[in-house]
């Protein structure tokens, strides 16, 4: 009989607490938020690779590895007395309810585009500004285009840019953003498209090369 999700999650939280507790694992005990950053990024990419691969067994495994990163970060904060995984879960629950008034309230949103627009409007009312941060530039550009268009703001750039004129850095930026605009219009994820194209070129067009684990 399959366990209740809450019971399974509680057991997992207990395992992570044991790893970080007295007599636990030296590696886990040595980790900090900063030292875990590379693993967090790596696990997120491996989840994406598993989705591309289409294997349910690998996806389940990689999602578990990504969840471990969340639990480790939450455990570190709990040890400092600032918040715990319970706060993370409850904050997420409240946010989902708050940003889906068409499900949990009286608002209406009949299409994915209407939902996205309402989500961005609510974020703006919450004072959540758009942040570039350290995320990959293509990912940020895609989110920027989606956000602006979902709020009814047009993102316009000059077409048919001449590579022989102007500041090279500015031209590259314009071309890349133009490519992101085109990708968004056609439902293409630019990060995935670029990665696939690189793999194809490395493999002579066969598309069978994979990055080392």
Regarding pTM above 0.75, the answer is no
For residue 66, give both structure tokens. 């990504």
Ordered by where they begin, the domains of the chain are 1-98 (1.10.287.1080), 130-213 (no CATH)
DSSP H helical ranges for the chain: 5-20, 26-30, 33-53, 56-79, 85-98, 101-104, 112-125, 137-150, 168-185, 190-202
Lowest mean pLDDT among 3-12, 47-56, 91-100, 154-163: 154-163
Average pLDDT over residues 127-149: 75
Do 83 and 97 contact (CB within 8 A), yes or no?
Answer: no
From the list 96, 141, 93, the residue with the least C-alpha distance to 122 is: 96
Residue 211: band (very low, low, confident or very high) from pLDDT cuts 50, 70, 90? very low
pLDDT above 50 for 213:
no
And the tokens for 197? 């194209």
- Which of these ranges, 40-44, 85-89, 109-113, 132-136, has the smallest mean pLDDT? 132-136
- The per-residue pLDDT for 200 is 74
Distance of alpha carbon 182 from alpha carbon 157, whole angstroms:
11
3-state secondary structure of 71: helix
**Higher local confidence (pLDDT), 206 or 139:** 139
Neighbours of 150 (CB within 10 A): 18
Position with higher pLDDT, 211 vs 88: 88
Nearest to 73 by CA among 128, 133, 28: 28
The pLDDT, as a whole number, for residue 198 is 66
Give residue 209's pLDDT: 42
At 16-65, the pLDDT tens digits run 999 999 999 999 999 999 999 989 989 998 999 999 888 999 999 999 99
| Residue 35 confidence (pLDDT) | 95
As a whole number, mean pLDDT of residues 119-148 equals 78
Span 166-184, pLDDT tens digits: 788 888 888 888 888 888 8
Rounded mean pLDDT, 154-175: 73
- With a cut of 60, say whether residue 206 has pLDDT above it: no
Label residue 83 left, alpha or beta by phi (over 0 means left) and psi (-120 to 50 means alpha). beta
Mean pLDDT, all residues of the chain = 85
User: Does residue 194 contact residue 146 with C-beta atoms inside 8 Å?
Assistant: no
């Amino acid at each position: 009989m399959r366990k209740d999700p809450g019971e399974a999650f509680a057991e997992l939280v207990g395992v992570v607490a044991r790893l970080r507790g007295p007599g636990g694992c030296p590696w886990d005990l040595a980790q900090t938020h900063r030292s875990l950053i590379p693993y967090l990024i790596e696990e997120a990419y491996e989840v994406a690779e598993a989705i591309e691969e289409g294997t349910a067994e690998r996806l389940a495994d990689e999602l578990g590895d990504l969840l471990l990163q969340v639990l480790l970060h939450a455990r570190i904060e709990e040890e400092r007395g600032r918040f715990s995984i319970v706060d993370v879960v409850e904050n997420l629950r409240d946010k989902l309810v708050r940003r889906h008034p068409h499900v949990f309230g009286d608002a209406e949103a009949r299409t994915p585009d209407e939902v996205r627009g309402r989500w961005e409007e609510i974020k703006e009312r919450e004072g959540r500004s758009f942040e570039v941060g350290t995320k990959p530039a293509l990912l940020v550009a895609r989110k920027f285009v989606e956000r602006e268009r979902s709020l009814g703001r047009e993102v316009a750039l000059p077409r048919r840019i001449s590579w022989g004129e102007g500041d090279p850095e500015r031209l590259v930026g314009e071309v890349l953003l133009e490519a992101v605009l085109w990708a968004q219009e056609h439902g293409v994820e630019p990060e995935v498209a670029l990665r696939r194209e690189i793999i194809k070129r490395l493999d002579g067009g066969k598309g069978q090369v994979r990055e080392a684990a």
